[in-house]
Amino acid sequence: MSNLNKLNFTALDVSGRNYLKWVHDVKLYRTPTKNLRHAIEDEMDNLVGEAEKATTMIFIQRHIHDALQTECLAEKDQRALWVTLAEHFDHQKDIFLPEARHDWQHLRFQGFKSVNEYNYEVCRIQSLLKFCNENLTEEDILENTYSTFYATNIVM
C-alpha cells in the first residue's frame, strides 16, 4: 500500500485532457504488480476479492484530481467508478480528430524557425491522426511540405 504514493504518473485532470494517458498508465501499473486490472475491466466481479477491490478503489481515488474525487464520492464500486470516468472522459477521439485535421490543413513549412520544429509538429499531428484511425502516407507529408513553400523557394 505504501507504493501507491510513489507512482510517477500524473493524476487525472478535472478537464479530462490527460484521460487517455492516465488510463494507459493505470493499466500498465495495475497489470504487473497485483493483477488488479481485472477489478476494473472484468464484468465478472466474483473473481475479484474484497481486498483487491478496495486497493483498486484507493488507487483510482488517489490518482484523480481532487474535484473529481469529490464528484465520485458516491461511487462505492471500483468497476462503477471506472465506467463513470470512461463515460465522462472517453470521447477524446471526437475531440482530437477535428483538431488534428485542422492542424494538418494549416501546417506551413515556412511557419517554423527550424526543420526540427516542423518535423516535431508533423509527427505530433501524424500521431493524433493515427490514434483517430486516419493514416498519413509519406506522399501526403511530402505533398503538404512542398505545397507550402513559397514560389520563390521551390527551385531551391
Give pLDDT, residue 54: 79
Domain ranges in the chain are: 2-89, 92-153
CB contact burial 54-93 (16+ within 10 A = b; e otherwise)? ebbbebbeebbbeebbeebeebeebbebbebbeeebeebe
Q: Which amino acid is at 70?
A: T
Give pLDDT, residue 41: 66
Residues 6+ apart with CB under 8 A from 93: 131, 132, 133
Residue 73 above 80 pLDDT? no
Give pLDDT, residue 1: 43
Helix (H) / strand (E) element for 82: namely: helix 78-89
Give pLDDT, residue 42: 62
Q: Any idea which of 70-74, 112-116, 123-127, 139-143 has the lowest mean pLDDT?
A: 70-74
Residue 136's Cβ-count burial label (10 Å; 0-12, 13-18, 19+) is middle
pLDDT tens across 128-147, in order?
888 888 888 899 888 888 88
pLDDT tens across 117-127, in order?
999 999 999 98
pLDDT tens across 12-51, in order?
888 888 888 888 888 777 665 555 666 666 665 556 677 7
Give pLDDT, residue 116: 92
1, 59 contact by CB (below 8 A): no
154, 148 contact by CB (below 8 A): no
Q: What is the pTM of this model?
A: 0.59
